Every structure is written in C-alpha cells, then in structure tokens.
C-alpha cells in the first residue's frame, strides 16, 4: 500500500463537498465536521432520515451473513450502531472492531456501547480507512456505512479493505447514492440543500456541516461507478441493492 500513497502528488486536489481542496487538507476538514456534530450525530440521523437509517442498517446486517465466532471490522463505525448489532451476533467467541478516524465519534461510540453492555468482544481503534492497521486476511466481514464518501482516495481504501478480508470474506458498503426516479431526485435535492442545513442549525448549531453532507453525497460515485471501483479493487460477485428509491445503496463484494 505504501507505493500507492507515494504515487499521489503533494499537489493533488480533491473535492470537499463542491469545493476543490488539496488532497492533504481534506482529512482535517472532514474531521472538523464530525468533531462538530459528534454529540448530536445520532439524533440528527433520526431527524433527517425520519428514522429510516435504522432500517437501512438492519438490512446491511442481514445481508452481511455474520455468524457466531466471526471477526468483523466496522469502518467509520462512529457511534456504534452496526458494531452493537454485530457484537450481539458474533457472541463471545467472535470479535468486532469499531474503527473510525475521528476521535470524537469514537468516544461517543465507546461510551454508548459500554452503556449498552458491550465490552468483552469489542475493540475500539482509531484508524484511517486508507491505511488500516490490521494484518492481511484477518476479518470475515468488513462494513463501512455512510463513511466512504468522506474518504479522499476511495480506490486505496477499497484495496486495503480487500487486503484485510479473509478469502471468501465480504465487504458491505452502505452509502447515499443516486435516486432512480427523476421526480424523487428533484425532491431529494430540495430537501438536501434547503431543509438539511436548517435542521443542522437548529439541532447542532452547525448548518455548514450539513451543507457539506448534502454536497458530499452529490460528489460520491453513483451505483454503477462504485460497483466498478470495487471490482477494480479485486472484489468478486459485486452487487448492489437500491434502498428507498436509490437514495441509499448497499454494495456487496466477496474476496476471491
């Protein structure tokens, strides 16, 4: 993976929402967003999705095929929704690693999971998705929910997720995507750019972070493009399932 990182120029630019920024600066800018909203993150998710994000995550868990004794890596796991469900499924014989690059989000997640009685089979690790601090072939399942769009070099991150999976292991990417119907797309645009920043200001006193959220969703690869990125990273049998009319999509791939 080192060669891939070295190949990236210091002058490389990327997108932070609709802004063009230096690639080296994006990680800190995204970190600032999540430091700002960490304390109200779960409440805001419930409000802005009308609670539907819980159904999207439940579907991801069912599609993961996680069983007793499995090792699961939950990247960008934030406040721990998926990690909690996975920890219950793998049991004391298994292990779940809750990983996030953002210390504020990890602290909220660690506290929430401890309050809910999850401890023995859970590890919390601060980690960059582009340089995962784990051995090759270590996990049965890797998930990343609503985090890939914030990663600067998605190709590098997907390749590293492939590396840490065991042969036959599965990657599941749950992410905002491209609505499949034009009218829904127009309504979603109106909601995202008009309502979300207002909700952010009222609930988290931070409209700018939710303006970034709306913009980052639009810059994220659509369903077919992400499928191709996963295939290029080495994944086999890559499929995706549109949820809520394609507002969200769940991609799934297998390590051969």
CA 151/CA 153 separation, integer angstroms = 6
Instruction: Give Cα separations from 11 to 27, 28, 93, 157, 187 (angstroms).
Output: 15, 16, 47, 20, 37
- Which position has the token pair 């989000």? 105
Is 79 annotated in a binding site? The answer is yes
CA 38/CA 109 separation, integer angstroms = 9
Is 128 annotated in a binding site? The answer is yes
Torsion angles phi and psi, residue 44, rounded to 5: -65, -40
CA 88/CA 149 separation, integer angstroms = 28
Is 187 annotated in a binding site? The answer is no
Structure tokens at 242: 């549109």
Closest CA to 165 of 32, 255, 75: 255
Is 152 annotated in a binding site? The answer is no
Could you list the residues known to form a binding site, using ranges: 79, 100, 128-129
Could you list the residues known to form a binding site for S-adenosyl-L-methionine, using ranges: 79, 100, 128-129
């Amino acid at each position: 993976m080192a060669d891939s990182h070295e190949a990236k120029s210091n002058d490389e630019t990327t997108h932070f929402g609709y802004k063009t920024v230096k690639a080296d600066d994006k990680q800190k800018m995204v970190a600032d967003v999540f430091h700002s909203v960490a304390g109200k993150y779960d409440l805001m998710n419930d409000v802005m999705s009308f609670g539907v994000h819980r159904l999207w995550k439940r579907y991801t868990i069912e599609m993961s095929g996680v069983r007793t004794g499995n090792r699961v890596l939950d990247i960008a796991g934030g406040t721990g929704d998926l990690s909690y469900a996975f920890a219950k499924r793998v049991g004391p014989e298994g292990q779940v690693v809750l990983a996030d690059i953002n210390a504020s989000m990890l602290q909220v997640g660690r506290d929430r999971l401890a309050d809910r009685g999850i401890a023995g089979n859970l590890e919390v690790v601060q980690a960059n998705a582009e340089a995962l601090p784990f051995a090759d072939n270590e996990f049965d399942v890797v998930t990343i929910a609503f985090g890939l769009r914030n990663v600067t070099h998605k190709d590098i991150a997907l390749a590293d997720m492939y590396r840490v999976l065991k042969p036959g292991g599965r990657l599941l990417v749950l992410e905002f995507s491209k609505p499949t119907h034009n009218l829904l797309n127009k309504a979603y645009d109106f909601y995202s750019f008009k309502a979300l920043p207002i909700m952010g200001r009222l609930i988290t006193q931070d409209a700018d972070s939710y303006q970034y959220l709306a913009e980052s969703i639009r810059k994220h690869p659509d369903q077919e493009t992400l499928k191709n990125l996963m295939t290029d990273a080495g994944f086999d049998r890559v499929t995706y399932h549109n949820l809520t009319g394609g507002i969200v999509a769940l991609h799934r791939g297998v390590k051969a």
